[in-house]
A = this chain, B = another copy of it.
Amino acid sequence: MSPTRDQILHTTASLLEKQGCHATGLNEIIRESSTPKGSLYYYFPGGKEQLVSEAVLQAGRAVADRIHTYLAGETPPSQAIHDFILRIADNMEASGFAAGSPLSAVAMETATTSSRINAACQAAFNTMIAAFEDKLLASGLEAQHASDLAHFITATIEGGVMLSRTMHSTEPLRVVARQLSTALTC
A residues near B (Cβ < 8 Å) are: 18-23, 96-98, 101, 104-105, 107-113, 118, 121-122, 125, 148-149, 151-152, 154-160, 162-163, 165-168, 172, 175-176, 178-180, 182-183
Asked whether, in the complex, the Cβ of A156 is within 8 Å of the Cβ of B156, the reply is yes
Q: Give the number of times this chain occurs in the complex, counting copies.
A: 2
| Nearest neighbor of A180 in chain B, beta-carbon distance | B152
Asked whether, in the complex, the Cβ of A20 is within 8 Å of the Cβ of B22, the reply is yes
Asked whether, in the complex, the Cβ of A111 is within 8 Å of the Cβ of B168, the reply is yes
| Nearest neighbor of A92 in chain B, beta-carbon distance | B111
Shortest beta-carbon distance from A57 to chain B in Å: 13
Chain B residues closer than 8 Å to A20, beta-carbon distance:
20-22, 105, 108-109
